[in-house]
Structures are given as C-alpha cells and as structure tokens.
Amino acid sequence: MPNAIVSQSGGPTGVINASLVGVIEQAKKHSKIDKLYGAIHAVSGMVKENFVDLTDISPERLDAIAASPSAALGSSRDKPNAEYCSKILEVFKKYDIEYFFYIGGNDSANTCKIINEMADDVDIDLKAFHIPKTVDNDLRTTDHCPGYGTAAKFVACALQGDDLDNRALLGVKIDVIMGRDAGWLTAASTLGQQRDDDGPHLVYLPERPIKIEDMVAQVKEVYDRLGRCVVAVSEGIRDVDGVVWAKKIAEEAEVDSHGNVQLSGSGALADFLSKKIKAGTGIGRVRADTFGYLQRSFAGLQSETDVDEARRCGRQAVIYSEDNDNGSVAMKRTGEGENYCVDLFLTDLANVAEFTKDLPDEFINEAGNGVTKAFKDYAMPLAGNLPKTDTFINDPKL
Amino acid sequence: MPNAIVSQSGGPTGVINASLVGVIEQAKKHSKIDKLYGAIHAVSGMVKENFVDLTDISPERLDAIAASPSAALGSSRDKPNAEYCSKILEVFKKYDIEYFFYIGGNDSANTCKIINEMADDVDIDLKAFHIPKTVDNDLRTTDHCPGYGTAAKFVACALQGDDLDNRALLGVKIDVIMGRDAGWLTAASTLGQQRDDDGPHLVYLPERPIKIEDMVAQVKEVYDRLGRCVVAVSEGIRDVDGVVWAKKIAEEAEVDSHGNVQLSGSGALADFLSKKIKAGTGIGRVRADTFGYLQRSFAGLQSETDVDEARRCGRQAVIYSEDNDNGSVAMKRTGEGENYCVDLFLTDLANVAEFTKDLPDEFINEAGNGVTKAFKDYAMPLAGNLPKTDTFINDPKL
C-alpha cells in the first residue's frame, strides 16, 4: 500500500493542530494508506526529507496535540517555485507517497494545486487535499475558516476586559488587531458586548478606507458623549488613497517571501494613532495596544466549536481522498443561532487558491465604523461561549 | 449605626472585584455597619459624593462582579493632597461614614494612612483599612499580592503559545511584559515551561541592568544553539547607568500624576529591541510584541487561587475593622507545593505604603537573565493550573 504525508503551512492558529489530529486519526482507517508521514516545517521539510512517523500516535497524545496552539509539525513561509515543487515530487516518489494533505491558507491551497498538476504532467499518482486554516477568515467558498473562531474568542475576551478597564480609568483606548486584507478578526472585537455602552465604540476595517482627520473627529464625538472611547482598528486599515497606513508609517517595511508587508509584530501603527488622536482631540489619557501574535497563539483558549470543526475538516479530507483526486474541504452552514451547525463539502482547489474574501457590505454599518447585527449572528456561534461580566459604574447613583 | 465606604484605586486587576465582593459580603455581617457605600472612581468619587449603595446586592450579582476583570467601581490615578483629604473627611462626616476600605497598591495604602491620621488629628472616628492589589506583586510585608496570580497566568499562557509559535516559524521573538520597578510579572513568563528547550530562553528584569550589546550577544548564543530564541523583557529594564530604557527611548515620555513615566500602552521599547537585535545578530526573522493592558484586563482567565484569596482579603479587612483602627491585610504562606495555603494577618499601613519590593536575589539566576527553581516554586501555586501542550517537532526524525 502507498503512503501519505501531512503538513502545516503559513501562520499557525489555535486549532491547526486539531485538523492535523483529524488527518492522523482518519488515515489509520483509510483503505489504501499504509504509513502517514509528517513533514517538519512544511515544504521545507518535504525537500529535506525531514519527516516524523505519525502512523501510530496514542489517542491521549493526539488529544494533547489537538489542544495545543501553533503548528505541531512546524510551519514555513517558503513559497515553492516550479523547481522546488519538482524536488518535492521526487521525494514523494522515493517515499511512495500518493496522498498529500496540506493544512493552510490560500497560498497553501495554491501550492497543493501546483504540485497536483505537476504530478499529473509527469504521470505520478498523487492525490492532493487542502484543509483550510486561517485566523483571518478570508478564504473563499467556505462559510468560515477553522482558526477564526478561536482567534475571535481571544479578541472578544480582550475587548471585554479592555472596555471594563477603560470604564475604570476613562480616556481613549485603541486596540490594533490582526487582519492584513480583511476585517473579520477586527469585527470580532464586538462579540462580547453586553451593555448598550460597551466598547468597542468604533471599529475600523480594511474594507472602509478612512482619513485620519475623520477618525479623530469620530473618537472625539464618542468621548464627548460617554467620557471615554474604545477603538478597534485593523492592522490593515487603509487611507482614502487605498494605501495601507502601516505601510505609510513603516520607515523600513519588512517584506516576507510572499510579497506581504509585515504588519504584525510592530507597535508603530498603534503609537501613530495614539499620537494623532491625542493631538487632534486634546484628550489627556490616550493608550494603544497592538495585540500581535497572542491572537493566534495564546494557549488554553480554544473555541469549542472551532476545535471540533477543525478536527472534522482534517478527518473529512482523508475521507474525500478515498474517492477523489484533489480538492479543498469547505463548510456550509445548515443551521443558525442555537441550532448552528455545518456540513462539510469538497470544493476545487482553484476556488480557494490565490484570492481572499472581504467582509461583505451587509456586515458593516452605514457609517463604515462598526458592524451590523447580521455580522454578530454570523460570528457568535464560531467564537462560542464568552464570559459574562458586570460592573457597578452604570448603577443609579445615590 | 454608622456607615462604611469602599473604593478601588490604581491600575485594575483581574481580581480586584473579588476583593470588593469580599468587603460587600462581610459588611452585611458587621456588628456596627449600617449602609455600605461604593465610591465611583476612588478618591474623585469621594469628594464628588458620587456613590452607589452596595448594602443589598444579590449573591448572584456578587458572583458575576467577582468574575469580572477591572474595577467595578471605577478607579482613579488622583493622588490626593492634604486639602483633597480634608474634603474627603467632610464628606465622610456628612454621610456618617466611620469605616473606610480601600483596595489598591502602595499609593492607596499611603492615602489610607494619611486620611486615617488626619481623622485622628481632628477627632473624627474613622477606621481605615487597605486591601492589597497589584499585578506587579511588589507590595511589602505580604507574601504576594492579589492580582498577581491572574496576571501571571495570562503571561504564562501567552508565553506557552508564543514559544510554540516560535518553534513553528523560528527566528527571534521578544515579548515586553508589565512591571515598572520589579520583575515579578516578567519572571512569570517561565511558569508554563514543560520541555527543556521551552522558552522564554532569556528573561530580562529591572533588577538586573544590562547593556544592549550584552543582550544581543546572549540572543545570538541561544539562536545559534536552538535555531530560535524567545525573550521575555520587563518594560522596566534598565541600562547599566540605571536609567530605564523605555525612558531613554521615549521622545516625549508621558508622566502620570504620581510622577511615573508611562511604560505601558506604547510599542516603542519592543520595536527598539527588535531593531537592535536584528541589526546586531543578522537574524532575518525578529518579531516583538508588547503585551500591554491585556495582562491586567483580559476577561475570563482568572487564577482560581488568586480570585479566592482576593475575596478572602476583602472579607478579612471587614473582620479586622471590628476590633482594630487601621491596617493593611497581608498574606503569610503556611504550606508549599501541593499543600500550598496562606494565613491572613493585619499589618501597619506604614509597612505597605510608599515602598515597593524587588525580586529577591535567590529568584534570579547567576547570569541575570533567567529565574531559579525557587522562583517557580514560589509562583506556580499563585498562577494555578496552566494548559499542557505537546508538539511533534522534538520527535525523532525518520
């Protein structure tokens, strides 16, 4: 019997290991898979034959892996070119690998597609399946992406606490949230809201370019009304000329191998906004945090829905490989609210590769600085249960 | 019967509301307290007579308040002078307040002491009690401070995930952690370590001034050995001339009313270190995060030990007020490890006011860039249960 390989690529998430565990569990039940190899550090481990044997891992260890954030096999930002891919195929041939499971974002779906097509061209029997993951939730075709719910839960809990902190000490608080091209994760900052005056009071998304002067005026309006203001800002927000602000600000923008400017891992945008708002409003206490990598890596804070779905997607990719040549696992929502549930389906790799998905217009308010009820209805089930909080500040005074 | 007042001051924590709830619960059982007022926004609410009635709050609501981060009564950074304090005494007299419970750090203990002494001078009957809180854990006399365990848990979970993320994508990761004068919270970054090579690999504390060149060399040494390096840095780290780096870096340092430079709420130190380490080592992937206010405000992540102790401290302050005139509630450790437990005792306000407590030498390693087993034995019970994680990266390769 032939063998299979699994790997993880791109930025890790809180549940990418649950998808890996799904693949490992189901591969044992597959009618035509002998061994399952795990490639360490994605495509880089494939060309270097840096493999671990995942065929017989105890259920206890699988549960521990599924509960751990980050990529248990390591990851990579390498974008393989044709030569790189043909080297991968040579290694697959050497190890008698006929099944390839790749957990990642749209770049990974594209890699899957290229390797699958190259295999066809040289008449190698290779089945290639993509399992979606991204905290950004910006993959096409699927209702949502494994990884988003857990990151959304982190952001929602962070904003719940931050709003209470801002109630206690007043002033303006700005939080810069991940999301290079789409505002999905920034929008999730609203999911923990309970009271009418709970922050974030303003939400700025890459989908709605804005002038700094307009943002300052909107912050001042909220502050004048409530005596405080909590602002959620996507790291990918754009000026009205369409240029990403973080790019404008960065003196030396660091570019990764996919041609993406590094937006995370720097406090520059938060500090810039803080200074501008302070100068523009005259408010004394203006603070800014950049949530950074914690959003995708914080340990012990998975959304239960998310971790279950991620594991299902991993298992389903292996099931699809029994009767299909290639594809990407996607989710379709079949129930809403308390009856929330999803069905899985197989979609063409081309439907996921390369492109991304913005927040649709119906999820963004008319003013372009907040979300709608439709967004909350969409995202609440994904983040799962959030803490309930209380405060005496809103109680009637003596 | 006379009345009592309670308030919360300084930077909020994840369990300062549990102490408040302890006061509320016990005040109902006090033999000489009629009504319990809550002053909104600390001393500022006292002079403005901005009170809520806390005499009859349902047990369900008290539990919700105790589980909520931040200060449910609001807080303040005002440092009252003599005139301010005499205005407070006037208001206390007007409302027939003879019991004053103040939850805060060393500045709050000092305010408690001043108001208590002024009351004595003008022959007003006022009992004043301080209940400790601070994520910084730097109050004297007490074994540790309510608020520290919960913040330590956040930092430990963050570093667990961050270390796994750094394993997956390699390079150098720097995390800037709260702690103006003492390294207690930064030291807690080590509490989730499970494997020999788990980060943080280097821990820089305010107690051990360091030259940037030495830090760069130490990071390079770890990176050359492990292929990666996770660094935990206190926001209060100092250069060898004793000057806080963040102060040197800040072009326009913002100073609060206690004369403290604002260290949190800016990514400048992290970005500075990131640039220096990148330039000094030539390592391509260097990232830095500043954890910021999430460390004290994140919702839904309390340490059970911490929340229990915070509530006990609140109750005990009220119990002490039956037979004492003033003081601060403190904790003494009476059991270690699995038998960890604490007794509460009353100490003089002067023992807590004004001064702070550094990490003792026995908690810092000889090289000055890490913690000792003694520190972990001290801090582990305070943070409570931490997630267990696993990874395949350390498995034997094929």
Which of the four pLDDT bands, split at 50, 70 and 90, describes residue A348?
very high
Q: Report whether pLDDT(B287) > 80.
A: yes
Strand order in the sheet with A326-335: A51-53, A36-39, A3-8, A97-104, A127-132, A326-335, A341-347
Contact at CB, B37 and A398, closer than 8 angstroms: yes
Q: Report whether pLDDT(B95) > 90.
A: yes
B127-132 and B36-39 strand pairing: unpaired
The answer to whether B76 faces chain A, any CB pair under 8 Å, is yes
List, in sequence order, every beta strand (DSSP E) within chain A: 3-8, 36-39, 51-53, 97-104, 127-132, 171-177, 202-204, 228-234, 286-290, 326-335, 341-347
Contact at CB, B293 and A289, closer than 8 angstroms: yes
Contact at CB, B173 and A61, closer than 8 angstroms: no
Mean pLDDT of chain B: 94
| 8 A C-beta contact, residue A101 and residue A111 | no
Task: Supply the pTM of this predicted model.
Answer: 0.96
Q: If contacts are CB pairs under 8 Å, which of residues 278-297 in chain B contact chain A?
A: 287-294, 296-297
The answer to whether A8 faces chain B, any CB pair under 8 Å, is yes
Q: Say which of A49, A160, A397 has its CB closest to residue B299.
A: A160
Residue of B nearest to A15 (CA): B161
- In sequence order, what DSSP letters do the residues of A335-348 get, joined into one string? E-GGG-EEEEEEE-
Q: Say which of A161, A164, A299 has its CB closest to residue B192.
A: A299
pLDDT at residue B227, as a whole number: 96
Which of the four pLDDT bands, split at 50, 70 and 90, describes residue A265?
low
What are the tens digits of pLDDT across the range B328-374?
Answer: 999 999 999 999 999 999 999 999 998 889 999 999 999 999 999 99
Single out the residue of A149, A165, A148, A156 nearest to residue A193, CA to CA. Answer: A156
Contact at CB, B300 and A165, closer than 8 angstroms: no
Which residues are A131's β-sheet partners? A103
Contact at CB, B398 and A53, closer than 8 angstroms: yes
User: Running DSSP on this structure, what letter comes out for residue B189?
Assistant: G
Q: Report whether pLDDT(B258) > 80.
A: no
What are the tens digits of pLDDT across the range A112-128?
Answer: 999 999 999 998 999 99
Residue of A nearest to B42 (CA): A168
Q: Report whether pLDDT(B142) > 50.
A: yes
Q: Report whether pLDDT(A329) > 80.
A: yes
pLDDT at residue A163, as a whole number: 98
pLDDT at residue B263, as a whole number: 52
pLDDT at residue B252, as a whole number: 45
Contact at CB, A274 and B265, closer than 8 angstroms: yes
- Identify the CATH number of the domain defined by range A149-292+358-383: 3.40.50.460
Regarding the domain delimited by B150-299+358-383, which CATH topology (the fold level of the hierarchy) does it fall under?
Rossmann fold (3.40.50)
What residues of chain A lie within 8 A of the CB of B173, using their CB?
293
Q: What is the mean pLDDT of residues A246-258?
A: 62
Share of chain A above pLDDT 90, in %: 90
Q: Which of B78, B107, B136, B162 is catalytic?
A: B136
Which of the four pLDDT bands, split at 50, 70 and 90, describes residue A252?
very low
Pairwise pLDDT comparison (A67 vs B258), residue with the higher score? A67
What residues of chain A lie within 8 A of the CB of B387, using their CB?
67-68, 299-300
Share of chain B above pLDDT 70, in %: 96
Contact at CB, B290 and A294, closer than 8 angstroms: no
CA distance B2 to B4: 7
A136 is catalytic: yes
Q: Report whether pLDDT(A336) > 50.
A: yes
pLDDT at residue B267, as a whole number: 84
CA distance A389 to A62: 34
Which of the four pLDDT bands, split at 50, 70 and 90, describes residue B255?
low
Residue of B nearest to A393 (CA): B73
Q: Report whether pLDDT(B265) > 60.
A: no
ipTM over 0.90: yes
Regarding the domain delimited by A3-147+300-351, which CATH topology (the fold level of the hierarchy) does it fall under?
Rossmann fold (3.40.50)
Task: Say yes or no: domain B3-147+302-351 is CATH 3.40.605.10.
Answer: no
Q: Report whether pLDDT(A308) > 60.
A: yes
The answer to whether A75 faces chain B, any CB pair under 8 Å, is yes
Which of the four pLDDT bands, split at 50, 70 and 90, describes residue A130?
very high
The answer to whether A70 faces chain B, any CB pair under 8 Å, is yes
pLDDT at residue B268, as a whole number: 86
Q: Say which of B64, B167, B267 has its CB closest to residue A270.
A: B267
CA distance B38 to B64: 17
CA distance A377 to B2: 50
pLDDT at residue B264, as a whole number: 55
The answer to whether A228 faces chain B, any CB pair under 8 Å, is no
In angstroms, what separates the C-alpha of B96 from chain A's closest C-alpha?
A: 15
Segments making up each domain of chain B, as ranges: 3-147+302-351, 150-299+358-383
pLDDT at residue A253, as a whole number: 44
What residues of chain A lie within 8 A of the CB of B14, using their CB?
161
What are the tens digits of pLDDT across the range B201-220?
Answer: 999 999 999 999 999 999 99
What are the tens digits of pLDDT across the range A266-297?
Answer: 788 998 999 999 999 999 999 999 999 999 99
Which of the four pLDDT bands, split at 50, 70 and 90, describes residue B78?
confident
Q: Report whether pLDDT(A254) > 60.
A: no
Instruction: Give me the numbers of helices (H) and strands (E) for chain A, helices first please.
Output: 13, 11
Q: Say which of B69, B161, B386 has its CB closest to residue A297.
A: B161
